[in-house]
Structure 1
Amino acid sequence: MNEELERADNDSPWKEILEAYFPQAMQFFFPKTAALIDWERPHEFLDKEFQQIAREAEQGRRYADKLVKVWQLAGQEIWLLIHVEIQAKPEDAFSERMFSYNLRIFDKFSKPAISLAILCDTDTTWRPHQYSYDYPDTRLNFEFGTVKLLDYQNRWAELEASDNPFATVVMAHLKTQETTKKLGERKTWKFSLIRRLYEQGWQERDIRNLYRFIDWVMILPKALEAEFWQEFKQFEQEQSMSYVTTGERIGYERGQQNLILRLLQKRVGELPQSVRDRIQSLSLNQLEALGEALLDFTGLEDLLAWLSANFTEQ
């Protein structure tokens, strides 16, 4: 069951939510740095510049990284490197990599960067914050800012009272971790967190943005997902609101199915009906994972192997 609930792209919702609410992210996680910034002036995401210094894709790890140009209140331009460490397991070379990115930015663009990391893992003892070496005639001590999402477990009342969108992001993340083996409880929390968006009076655009994050990370098996949608549909009817409709969800899922089937036929050739049936029974989360995986397929055997490894017929 848990293998079915693995997502291939947990970095995507973080990238989306950081782009949608970047000033709020800084104010929530790194208030001292946020206080230096003139938020009246527009910030700029430097995706092309980041790609020039990033070399991690071939290593198979997942990150959500953003390089952002902002303006200080004092008037100078400054760059921020925001790193979200998605992986559940700590990484020995993490501090060195944070230093390496900072150095590459300075080397390539002659820009000092403020380096900041959001740690999403479950190890309370892993708290990287510096990279250093010390020799008789040369020494270095590079420090970077970090926040540990696990620490917010002890600040739950503060999260509930906050109207910053990243309070909801952290709550969804923590409850996803806590309910790995309690999926019925996860369904309850998922409903509660989405209902909270309406109760807090968020605008429709914000409800949709935060709903997408919650839905993406709080993955449910198909039966519980169906129960969730029935309950949620009733709730929206009672609220006389329909920002996120069941029909929209089902229509999107069918559209994804059709797109994946067309791409697979182009990639591996005609699909046997039994294989089409299996694909049409996949959850939306599984379809999105398949959509990413199929880029590496060279034949039907690759598809069958992926289905066997990632999806057990019920």
Structure 2
Amino acid sequence: MPPPSRACYDSPWKTALTHAFRAFLEFYFPAQCARIDWRRRPRFLDKELAQTGCGAHPAGRVADKLARVHLRDGSEQWVMVHIEVQAQRDDALARRVLAYNYRIFEQYGQPVASLVLLADDSPGWKPSAFHNTVLGTVMGISFATAKLLDHSGRTDELLASGNPFAIVTLAHLRTQQTRGSVADRYAAKWQLTKLLYDRGWRKERIIILFKVINWMMTLPEQWESRYWEAINRLERSRKVEWISPLEESFIEKGRLKGLKQGMAQGLEQGLERGREEGAAQLLERQLAQRSAPYRRR
């Protein structure tokens, strides 16, 4: 049996973060969440984030978010919260967090909190700081991190949680765990989908989490058709219609768009690496040509 289709993480995480920013912080960063004044609505600054030069996606980074929030203690009128979700190990991550933090601070002149969710599959990788010390000068940053893998042994707790990011976490973990089996991924995807009907959430949240699950836990076309048929049967048996045919088509279009964006992003990263390698090879040839007359002497 062929493996599942390539997983898509970028669009699902961005969608979930935008929909339930407070729930994300409550789930992964409860101490920081408790200090924010949620009576004042956060303002997302994604376009401004791209203008700071933080919009490009290095390997493994699947989502980032910049929000302006107010603190409960009034110590700052408002602060910037930069969220980054990293889906694979990248030894340059801590240095990049320092660069992004400073760029945002330089842009707005306000304190910046950097919060990083490590969604990779390397248990021992938990970067949380980058520092340089030379001749009495210290440059660096320490930042808060959460490790998605730390939740892998808490399945029952996640299944019982009312926080939408418990389901997002399970979807991500199950996607990682079922890379080699279509049948296992289908079973995990169907379990999480049925769970949505038992939560009592409003329709908007259910639709968004449907999108997250469907985009992230990709399946071959035949299995995807089987998935939608199962949803239709479930809705008929429960006499509900959360996912209308029109909504189904929008969700599928969004999933396909996300897959195409992921493929394009991967291609661009490959081309960039190719350009870098080509430039290095060209430099080596130029240096060799310049040094050739000296070697002949």
Which range, TM-score by smaller chain? 0.7 to 0.9
1:79 matches 2:80:
yes
Q: Which amino acid aligns with 1:164?
A: N
Moved over 6 A (4+): 291-295
Give the structure 1 partner of residue 280 of structure 2. none
Relative to structure 1, is the Cα distance of residues 117 and 294 closer, same or farther in structure 2, using a 3 angstrom cutoff? closer
Matched, 1:119 2:118: yes
Distance 2:238 2:170 in 1: 23
Structure 1 residue ranges without an equivalent (≥5):
257-283, 298-314
How big is each residue's C-alpha offset from its partner over 1:245-271, in whole Å with a ceiling of 9 and x where there is no partner?
456435775xx5xxxxxxxxxxxxxxx
Q: Which moved more, 1:56-65 or 1:223-232?
A: 56-65
Other-structure match for 1:197: 196
Offset, 1:182: 1.5
Rounded Cα–Cα distance in structure 1 between residues aligned with 2:198 and 2:91:
42
Q: Cα gap change, 1:137/1:293 in structure 2, threshold over 3 Å: closer, same or farther?
A: closer
Label 1:181 to 1:107 Cα distance change in 2 as closer, same or farther (>3 A).
same
**Are the equivalent residues in 1 in contact too, given 2:59–2:90 (CA < 8 A)?**
no
For 1:54, what is the secondary structure of its paired residue? Answer: helix
Query: Secondary structure of the equivalent of 1:154?
Result: coil
For residue 35 of structure 1, report the CA deviation from its aligned partner.
0.5
**Distance between the aligned counterparts of 2:214 and 2:187, measured in 1?**
13
Deviation digits for residues 41-72 of structure 1 (CA, Å, limit 9, x no counterpart): 11100123211222562756643111100111
Q: Do the aligned residues in 2 keep the contact of 1:10 with 1:62 (CA within 8 Å)?
A: no
Whether the 8 Å CA contact 1:84–1:119 is kept in 2: the answer is: yes
Task: Using the TM superposition, give the Cα deviation of residue 155 of structure 1 relative to its aligned residue in structure 2, in angstroms.
Answer: 1.8
> Mind listing any 5+ residue stretches in structure 2 that lack a counterpart?
268-297
Q: 1:98 to 1:20 in 2, by over 3 A?
A: same
**Count of equivalent residues:** 263
Separation in structure 1 between the aligned mates of residue 147 and residue 138 of structure 2, nearest angstrom: 28
Q: Deviations over 1:2-57 (max 9, x none)?
A: 4x7225x6312211110100111111110000010110111100123211222562
Residues 204-215 of structure 1 aligned to structure 2 (within 5 Å): 204-215=203-214
Q: Hey, what does 1:37 align to over in structure 2?
A: 36
Normalising by structure 1, report the TM-score. 0.77
| Percent of pairs with identical residues | 34
Mapped contact 1:194–1:214 kept (Cα < 8 A): yes
Label 1:288 to 1:31 Cα distance change in 2 as closer, same or farther (>3 A).
closer
Q: Which moved more, 1:42-51 or 1:243-252?
A: 243-252
2:180 matches 1:181: yes
Q: Give the secondary structure class of the aligned counterpart of 1:64.
A: strand
Higher relative contact order (CA 8 A, sep 6+): 2
SS of the aligned residue for 1:199 comes to: coil
Alignment RMSD (CA, Å):
2.5
User: What is the TM-score of this pair, normalised by structure 2?
Assistant: 0.81
